[in-house]
Amino acid sequence: MTTTVPAKTPQQIHPHKFTLWVAMGSILMMFAALTSAYIVKKNQSSWLEFDLPQIFNYSTVVMLLSSVTIYLSVRAFKAGKMGNYRTLVTVTALLGISFIVMQWIGFKDLEAQDIALTGSKSNSAASFLLVITGIHMVHVLGGVIALLIIFIRAYAVKIRNYSSLPIELAGAYWHFVDVLWIYLFIFYNWIG
């Protein structure tokens, strides 16, 4: 007697998720190249050593908190708790904006210490910090914009679309920029 085993249909990844993973891989390669260039440039005699402003520590905590709120918002959406979902998406976006503002304040603090970030008086160390962190800030801003679009749709759409894909994509991207910042923070403080 022969038995037939039904063939498993291979689980396919959603095209948007695949695109996001490719984009995150590309972003990761860009930051790997920038931090590698930072290490090479650091070996030059003109490199300026300075400590990161204290506010960068606080912005790191804010970024970690935002990762928790985006995680909880995805869970709330999947549980159908739309009020909690809306609140948590809003909090995540506000934390993202707070992170960007804190980074900007950190740059202003460096300038107040006469560490020029750009121009003829600047040093490669400060310029690298500005470029690498600035690019990260732009990626966080992209995540904030995505969250704001999700937020608007959560309140404005008359016909409810209960697909979790948008918030799952935003959540994956948000965790990615969070982990990327943790890497950069560790890199600036202990590796670079």
Asked if residue 12 is part of any domain, the answer here is no
Asked if residue 169 is part of any domain, the answer here is yes
Residue reference for tokens 């909690």: 84
Q: What is the spatial distance between Cα 63 and Cα 60, in angstroms, rounded to a whole number?
A: 5
Mapping DSSP to helix (H, G, I), strand (E, B) and coil, where does residue 155 land? helix
Asked if residue 44 is part of any domain, the answer here is no
Which structural domain, as residue segments, surrounds residue 133? 51-191
Running along the chain, 192 residues long, what does each successive block of 10 average in pLDDT?
61 87 96 94 86 95 97 93 92 96 96 89 89 96 93 72 85 96 93 70
Q: What is the DSSP string of 74-131?
A: HHHHHTT-HHHHHHHHHHHHHHHHHHHHHHHHHHHHHHHTT--SSSTT--HHHHHHHH
Residues 139 and 177 sit within 8 Å (Cβ to Cβ): yes
Q: For residue 49, what pLDDT is reported?
A: 86
Asked if residue 26 is part of any domain, the answer here is no
Q: For residue 46, what pLDDT is reported?
A: 81
Asked if residue 179 is part of any domain, the answer here is yes
Q: For residue 5, what pLDDT is reported?
A: 58
Asked if residue 5 is part of any domain, the answer here is no
Q: What is the spatial distance between Cα 152 and Cα 60, in angstroms, rounded to a whole number?
A: 27
Whether the predicted model's global pTM rises above the 0.85 cut: yes
Q: For residue 1, what pLDDT is reported?
A: 57
CATH of the domain at 168: 1.20.120.80
Of how many residues is the chain composed?
192
Asked if residue 8 is part of any domain, the answer here is no
Q: For residue 135, what pLDDT is reported?
A: 97
Q: For residue 4, what pLDDT is reported?
A: 59
Asked if residue 19 is part of any domain, the answer here is no
Look at the chain and report how many structural domains it folds into: 1
Question: Which of 135, 116, 136 has its CA nearest to residue 126?
Answer: 116
